[in-house]
Amino acid sequence: MFQTGPMRKLLKVAELLCKLTVQRNYSQVSKANQTQKKRKYIHKIGNHKKYMGDKIPLPDVNGEVLCGIHPVQAALHAGKRQPYTAFFMVGLSNERLDLLREQCVEKQVQIIDVKGYVLDNLSGNHPHQGVCLDVSKYKTPHICLDTDITSEKLYSSDGKPNVWLLPFHIKDTMNMGAVLRSSYYLGVNKVLLPSRYSSALNPVVSKASAGALEVMNIQSLKHDTLLEKCLVKWRDNGGIVVGSTGNEGHSKALHLHQFTVDKPTLLIIGNEAEGISENIIELCDVLLNIKNYQPELQHLNNFCVDSLNVSVATGILLHYIMMSKHGH
Protein backbone atom coordinates (compact mmCIF):
# COMPACT_ATOMS: atom_id res chain seq x y z
CA MET A 1 0.00 0.00 0.00
CA PHE A 2 1.49 3.43 -1.11
CA GLN A 3 1.96 6.29 1.32
CA THR A 4 -0.06 9.39 0.43
CA GLY A 5 2.55 11.99 1.55
CA PRO A 6 5.41 11.16 -0.88
CA MET A 7 2.98 10.58 -3.71
CA ARG A 8 1.47 14.01 -3.30
CA LYS A 9 4.92 15.57 -3.36
CA LEU A 10 5.82 13.73 -6.57
CA LEU A 11 2.58 14.86 -8.19
CA LYS A 12 3.21 18.48 -7.24
CA VAL A 13 6.78 18.33 -8.64
CA ALA A 14 5.51 16.79 -11.88
CA GLU A 15 2.79 19.45 -12.16
CA LEU A 16 5.34 22.22 -11.57
CA LEU A 17 7.68 20.83 -14.25
CA CYS A 18 4.82 20.70 -16.75
CA LYS A 19 3.92 24.34 -16.07
CA LEU A 20 7.53 25.45 -16.47
CA THR A 21 7.81 23.55 -19.76
CA VAL A 22 4.60 25.10 -21.10
CA GLN A 23 5.64 28.64 -20.04
CA ARG A 24 9.06 28.23 -21.61
CA ASN A 25 7.58 27.01 -24.88
CA TYR A 26 5.05 29.86 -24.90
CA SER A 27 7.80 32.37 -24.18
CA GLN A 28 9.91 31.01 -27.01
CA VAL A 29 6.97 31.15 -29.44
CA SER A 30 6.05 34.69 -28.33
CA LYS A 31 9.64 35.86 -28.65
CA ALA A 32 9.89 34.26 -32.08
CA ASN A 33 6.69 36.02 -33.21
CA GLN A 34 7.94 39.38 -31.93
CA THR A 35 11.28 38.86 -33.66
CA GLN A 36 9.52 37.98 -36.89
CA LYS A 37 7.32 41.08 -36.67
CA LYS A 38 10.35 43.22 -35.93
CA ARG A 39 12.18 41.75 -38.90
CA LYS A 40 9.19 42.42 -41.14
CA TYR A 41 9.05 46.03 -39.87
CA ILE A 42 12.77 46.55 -40.34
CA HIS A 43 12.53 44.91 -43.76
CA LYS A 44 9.68 47.25 -44.68
CA ILE A 45 11.51 50.37 -43.48
CA GLY A 46 14.72 49.17 -45.08
CA ASN A 47 13.00 48.58 -48.40
CA HIS A 48 11.45 52.08 -48.21
CA LYS A 49 14.84 53.66 -47.58
CA LYS A 50 16.41 51.54 -50.31
CA TYR A 51 13.58 52.46 -52.65
CA MET A 52 14.22 56.13 -51.97
CA GLY A 53 18.00 55.98 -51.90
CA ASP A 54 18.99 53.32 -54.43
CA LYS A 55 16.19 52.75 -56.91
CA ILE A 56 14.94 56.36 -57.22
CA PRO A 57 17.48 58.90 -55.86
CA LEU A 58 16.05 62.17 -54.63
CA PRO A 59 16.52 64.99 -57.15
CA ASP A 60 19.34 67.49 -56.77
CA VAL A 61 18.42 71.06 -55.88
CA ASN A 62 20.17 73.99 -57.56
CA GLY A 63 18.86 76.76 -55.31
CA GLU A 64 16.18 76.45 -52.64
CA VAL A 65 12.76 74.82 -52.67
CA LEU A 66 9.45 76.67 -52.47
CA CYS A 67 6.48 74.52 -51.52
CA GLY A 68 2.78 75.09 -51.96
CA ILE A 69 0.65 76.53 -54.72
CA HIS A 70 0.69 80.20 -53.68
CA PRO A 71 4.47 80.60 -53.19
CA VAL A 72 5.23 78.76 -56.43
CA GLN A 73 2.63 80.69 -58.40
CA ALA A 74 3.78 84.02 -56.96
CA ALA A 75 7.46 83.32 -57.65
CA LEU A 76 6.73 82.47 -61.29
CA HIS A 77 4.52 85.53 -61.66
CA ALA A 78 6.97 87.99 -60.09
CA GLY A 79 10.00 86.76 -62.04
CA LYS A 80 12.46 87.87 -59.34
CA ARG A 81 14.00 84.40 -59.07
CA GLN A 82 15.41 81.97 -61.59
CA PRO A 83 13.16 78.87 -61.70
CA TYR A 84 14.96 75.58 -62.31
CA THR A 85 12.55 72.66 -61.90
CA ALA A 86 8.92 72.23 -60.86
CA PHE A 87 8.02 68.98 -59.09
CA PHE A 88 4.41 67.80 -59.21
CA MET A 89 2.90 64.83 -57.35
CA VAL A 90 2.06 61.88 -59.56
CA GLY A 91 -1.67 61.22 -59.82
CA LEU A 92 -2.74 64.45 -58.15
CA SER A 93 -4.73 66.82 -60.33
CA ASN A 94 -7.04 69.74 -59.65
CA GLU A 95 -7.86 73.05 -61.28
CA ARG A 96 -5.22 75.05 -59.39
CA LEU A 97 -2.44 72.54 -60.03
CA ASP A 98 -3.41 72.28 -63.71
CA LEU A 99 -3.21 76.06 -64.07
CA LEU A 100 0.16 76.01 -62.34
CA ARG A 101 1.40 73.40 -64.79
CA GLU A 102 0.34 75.65 -67.65
CA GLN A 103 2.16 78.55 -66.01
CA CYS A 104 5.33 76.44 -65.82
CA VAL A 105 5.01 75.55 -69.49
CA GLU A 106 4.60 79.23 -70.42
CA LYS A 107 7.70 80.10 -68.38
CA GLN A 108 9.56 77.16 -69.95
CA VAL A 109 10.24 75.60 -66.55
CA GLN A 110 11.21 71.93 -66.48
CA ILE A 111 8.45 69.74 -64.99
CA ILE A 112 9.07 66.41 -63.24
CA ASP A 113 6.34 64.21 -61.80
CA VAL A 114 7.40 62.52 -58.55
CA LYS A 115 6.03 60.43 -55.70
CA GLY A 116 4.58 62.12 -52.65
CA TYR A 117 7.50 61.19 -50.39
CA VAL A 118 9.87 63.03 -52.73
CA LEU A 119 7.85 66.23 -52.24
CA ASP A 120 7.80 65.57 -48.50
CA ASN A 121 11.58 65.41 -48.53
CA LEU A 122 12.05 68.43 -50.78
CA SER A 123 9.70 70.55 -48.68
CA GLY A 124 11.22 69.50 -45.35
CA ASN A 125 7.87 67.87 -44.50
CA HIS A 126 6.03 71.18 -44.77
CA PRO A 127 2.59 71.23 -46.46
CA HIS A 128 3.27 71.30 -50.20
CA GLN A 129 -0.20 70.79 -51.79
CA GLY A 130 1.38 68.56 -54.42
CA VAL A 131 3.97 70.96 -55.85
CA CYS A 132 7.47 72.22 -55.13
CA LEU A 133 9.69 74.57 -57.13
CA ASP A 134 13.47 74.66 -57.20
CA VAL A 135 14.43 78.33 -57.58
CA SER A 136 17.39 80.61 -57.00
CA LYS A 137 17.72 82.09 -53.51
CA TYR A 138 15.86 85.28 -52.69
CA LYS A 139 17.95 88.44 -52.95
CA THR A 140 16.88 91.68 -51.31
CA PRO A 141 18.01 94.87 -53.09
CA HIS A 142 19.53 97.60 -50.94
CA ILE A 143 17.81 100.93 -50.62
CA CYS A 144 19.55 104.11 -51.75
CA LEU A 145 18.61 106.90 -49.37
CA ASP A 146 19.40 109.66 -51.86
CA THR A 147 17.26 108.30 -54.69
CA ASP A 148 14.60 106.16 -52.97
CA ILE A 149 13.61 108.57 -50.21
CA THR A 150 12.66 111.84 -51.86
CA SER A 151 9.62 114.07 -51.45
CA GLU A 152 8.34 112.89 -54.84
CA LYS A 153 8.73 109.15 -54.15
CA LEU A 154 6.98 109.32 -50.81
CA TYR A 155 3.67 109.83 -52.61
CA SER A 156 1.79 107.50 -54.95
CA SER A 157 0.77 108.44 -58.46
CA ASP A 158 -2.73 109.23 -57.18
CA GLY A 159 -1.27 111.83 -54.81
CA LYS A 160 -1.87 109.81 -51.63
CA PRO A 161 0.96 109.46 -49.10
CA ASN A 162 2.86 106.18 -49.14
CA VAL A 163 2.94 103.82 -46.19
CA TRP A 164 6.13 101.87 -45.55
CA LEU A 165 6.69 99.18 -42.95
CA LEU A 166 9.93 98.51 -41.10
CA PRO A 167 9.91 95.23 -39.10
CA PHE A 168 12.57 95.91 -36.48
CA HIS A 169 14.70 92.78 -35.87
CA ILE A 170 11.85 90.28 -36.21
CA LYS A 171 13.61 86.92 -36.06
CA ASP A 172 10.84 84.33 -36.19
CA THR A 173 10.26 83.12 -39.75
CA MET A 174 6.56 82.45 -39.24
CA ASN A 175 6.02 85.92 -37.79
CA MET A 176 7.96 87.50 -40.63
CA GLY A 177 5.87 85.63 -43.18
CA ALA A 178 2.62 86.67 -41.50
CA VAL A 179 3.79 90.31 -41.34
CA LEU A 180 4.55 90.30 -45.07
CA ARG A 181 1.21 88.70 -45.85
CA SER A 182 -0.70 91.38 -43.93
CA SER A 183 1.45 94.12 -45.49
CA TYR A 184 0.72 92.97 -49.01
CA TYR A 185 -2.99 92.40 -48.39
CA LEU A 186 -3.49 95.81 -46.77
CA GLY A 187 -1.58 97.73 -49.44
CA VAL A 188 1.76 98.69 -47.87
CA ASN A 189 3.86 100.36 -50.53
CA LYS A 190 7.21 99.01 -49.36
CA VAL A 191 8.77 96.88 -46.63
CA LEU A 192 12.17 98.04 -45.46
CA LEU A 193 14.37 95.56 -43.58
CA PRO A 194 17.30 96.28 -41.24
CA SER A 195 20.72 95.13 -42.39
CA ARG A 196 20.87 92.25 -39.85
CA TYR A 197 19.26 90.63 -36.82
CA SER A 198 16.15 89.80 -38.84
CA SER A 199 14.67 86.59 -40.14
CA ALA A 200 16.19 85.28 -43.35
CA LEU A 201 13.76 85.52 -46.26
CA ASN A 202 13.71 81.78 -46.87
CA PRO A 203 11.10 79.30 -48.19
CA VAL A 204 9.45 79.08 -44.75
CA VAL A 205 8.81 82.83 -44.84
CA SER A 206 7.49 82.54 -48.39
CA LYS A 207 5.11 79.78 -47.33
CA ALA A 208 3.95 81.66 -44.21
CA SER A 209 3.35 84.77 -46.32
CA ALA A 210 1.20 82.80 -48.82
CA GLY A 211 3.61 83.96 -51.53
CA ALA A 212 3.53 87.65 -50.58
CA LEU A 213 7.31 87.57 -50.15
CA GLU A 214 7.67 86.89 -53.86
CA VAL A 215 5.62 89.87 -55.06
CA MET A 216 6.07 92.41 -52.24
CA ASN A 217 8.22 95.51 -52.79
CA ILE A 218 11.04 94.80 -50.32
CA GLN A 219 14.35 96.56 -49.78
CA SER A 220 16.97 96.39 -47.06
CA LEU A 221 19.52 98.69 -45.47
CA LYS A 222 23.10 97.89 -46.38
CA HIS A 223 24.57 98.86 -43.00
CA ASP A 224 23.29 99.28 -39.44
CA THR A 225 24.39 102.89 -39.40
CA LEU A 226 21.95 103.71 -42.20
CA LEU A 227 18.84 103.06 -40.10
CA GLU A 228 18.93 106.29 -38.14
CA LYS A 229 19.95 108.21 -41.28
CA CYS A 230 17.00 106.66 -43.10
CA LEU A 231 14.54 107.86 -40.45
CA VAL A 232 16.00 111.35 -40.46
CA LYS A 233 15.85 111.40 -44.27
CA TRP A 234 12.21 110.30 -44.17
CA ARG A 235 11.27 113.11 -41.81
CA ASP A 236 13.29 115.70 -43.74
CA ASN A 237 11.29 114.86 -46.86
CA GLY A 238 7.93 115.48 -45.19
CA GLY A 239 7.19 112.05 -43.76
CA ILE A 240 6.25 110.93 -40.27
CA VAL A 241 7.99 108.12 -38.39
CA VAL A 242 5.53 106.03 -36.37
CA GLY A 243 6.55 103.45 -33.80
CA SER A 244 4.48 101.02 -31.76
CA THR A 245 4.34 100.45 -28.02
CA GLY A 246 2.47 98.47 -25.44
CA ASN A 247 3.03 101.23 -22.88
CA GLU A 248 0.11 103.62 -23.16
CA GLY A 249 1.69 105.82 -20.50
CA HIS A 250 4.66 106.71 -22.70
CA SER A 251 5.00 110.42 -23.50
CA LYS A 252 4.79 109.70 -27.25
CA ALA A 253 2.00 107.12 -26.99
CA LEU A 254 -1.18 107.70 -28.96
CA HIS A 255 -4.21 105.43 -29.11
CA LEU A 256 -4.51 103.94 -32.57
CA HIS A 257 -7.98 105.31 -33.33
CA GLN A 258 -6.70 108.87 -32.72
CA PHE A 259 -4.05 108.67 -35.44
CA THR A 260 -4.65 110.28 -38.84
CA VAL A 261 -2.58 109.64 -41.97
CA ASP A 262 -2.04 113.01 -43.66
CA LYS A 263 1.60 112.56 -44.72
CA PRO A 264 3.93 109.71 -45.78
CA THR A 265 4.07 107.20 -42.92
CA LEU A 266 6.89 104.88 -41.97
CA LEU A 267 5.58 102.35 -39.43
CA ILE A 268 8.15 100.56 -37.27
CA ILE A 269 7.13 97.27 -35.65
CA GLY A 270 9.18 96.09 -32.67
CA ASN A 271 10.55 92.57 -32.35
CA GLU A 272 9.08 89.71 -30.34
CA ALA A 273 11.19 90.12 -27.21
CA GLU A 274 12.25 93.72 -26.71
CA GLY A 275 10.20 95.86 -29.08
CA ILE A 276 11.90 98.94 -30.54
CA SER A 277 15.26 100.10 -29.20
CA GLU A 278 15.45 103.41 -27.33
CA ASN A 279 17.58 105.16 -29.96
CA ILE A 280 14.92 104.39 -32.59
CA ILE A 281 12.08 105.47 -30.29
CA GLU A 282 13.78 108.86 -29.95
CA LEU A 283 13.46 109.33 -33.72
CA CYS A 284 9.76 108.40 -33.77
CA ASP A 285 7.21 111.20 -33.94
CA VAL A 286 4.53 109.11 -32.30
CA LEU A 287 4.11 105.64 -30.78
CA LEU A 288 0.82 103.95 -31.59
CA ASN A 289 -0.82 101.89 -28.87
CA ILE A 290 -3.43 99.15 -29.21
CA LYS A 291 -5.66 99.46 -26.19
CA ASN A 292 -6.02 96.46 -23.89
CA TYR A 293 -9.70 96.18 -22.94
CA GLN A 294 -9.23 93.50 -20.29
CA PRO A 295 -6.47 94.80 -18.01
CA GLU A 296 -7.99 93.37 -14.84
CA LEU A 297 -8.55 89.89 -16.25
CA GLN A 298 -5.00 89.77 -17.58
CA HIS A 299 -3.56 89.75 -14.06
CA LEU A 300 -5.96 87.20 -12.64
CA ASN A 301 -4.18 84.66 -10.41
CA ASN A 302 -0.79 86.24 -11.14
CA PHE A 303 -1.05 85.32 -14.84
CA CYS A 304 -0.40 88.04 -17.39
CA VAL A 305 -0.74 88.32 -21.18
CA ASP A 306 0.28 91.92 -21.75
CA SER A 307 1.05 91.93 -25.48
CA LEU A 308 -0.09 90.70 -28.88
CA ASN A 309 1.81 88.55 -31.31
CA VAL A 310 3.85 90.85 -33.54
CA SER A 311 2.08 89.74 -36.72
CA VAL A 312 -1.36 90.25 -35.14
CA ALA A 313 -0.37 93.71 -33.88
CA THR A 314 0.96 94.58 -37.34
CA GLY A 315 -2.33 93.63 -38.97
CA ILE A 316 -4.36 95.75 -36.55
CA LEU A 317 -2.08 98.79 -36.88
CA LEU A 318 -1.95 98.62 -40.67
CA HIS A 319 -5.70 98.19 -40.96
CA TYR A 320 -6.37 101.40 -39.05
CA ILE A 321 -3.60 103.25 -40.88
CA MET A 322 -4.92 102.23 -44.29
CA MET A 323 -8.48 103.14 -43.31
CA SER A 324 -7.25 106.61 -42.40
CA LYS A 325 -5.18 106.90 -45.56
CA HIS A 326 -8.18 106.12 -47.76
CA GLY A 327 -10.55 108.32 -45.77
CA HIS A 328 -12.70 105.62 -44.18
CATH code that applies to domain 145-325: 3.40.1280.10
Amino acid at 275: G
Give the model's pLDDT for residue 32: 57
Question: Do the domains 145-325 and 64-135 match in fold?
Answer: no
From CA 104, how far away is CA 302, in angstroms rounded?
56
Question: Reduced to 3 states, what is the DSSP secondary structure of residue 109?
Answer: coil
Report pLDDT for 35.
52
Q: Are 74 and 216 in contact (CB under 8 A)?
A: no
Q: Give the domain ranges of the chain.
A: 64-135, 145-325
What's residue 34's pLDDT?
57
Question: What percent of the chain is predicted at pLDDT more than 90?
Answer: 68
pLDDT at 45: 30
**Chain-wide mean pLDDT for the chain?**
86
- pLDDT score of 287: 96
Per-residue model confidence as pLDDT tens digits over 99-138? 999 999 999 999 999 999 999 999 999 999 999 999 999 9
Q: Which residues contact 24 (CB under 8 A, 6 or more apart)?
A: none
For domain 64-135, give its CATH number from 3.30.1330.30, 1.10.10.60, 3.50.50.60, 3.65.10.10. 3.30.1330.30
The pLDDT value recorded for residue 292 is 82
Question: What was the pLDDT predicted at 42?
Answer: 33
pTM assigned to the model = 0.80
